[in-house]
Structure 1
Amino acid sequence: MKLHKRKFYEIKKLLESKLGDEVISHDENGSEFLEIKKTRFWLSADSSEFTVGYGANHTHFSEDYGNLYDGIIQVFDLLTHRVKTTDFIKGHTVFRTVVEIEYPDSKCISIGETRLLFYPFWKKTKIETSVTDPILCRKEIEMEVNKIIN
Structure 2
Amino acid sequence: MRKIILFLPLSVFFFTSCQLFDKKVPNEKELLEKQINEINWKEVDEYPSIVDCEKITNEEERKQCFFDFLTSTIQQKLDNDTLRTMYPQLDTIEVKVTVFPNAEVTFEPQFPRDSVAYDTIKIDSILKSKLVDFPKINPAIKRGIPVKTQFVLPVILKME
Shared fold (TM-score, shorter chain, > 0.5): no
> Per residue, is there more strand in 1 or in 2?
1
Taking structure 2 as the reference length, the TM-score comes to 0.29
Taking structure 1 as the reference length, the TM-score comes to 0.31
> Per residue, is there more helix in 1 or in 2?
2
Asked which structure has the greater CA Rg, the reply is 2
- With CA pairs under 8 Å and 6+ residues apart, which has the higher RCO, 1 or 2? 2
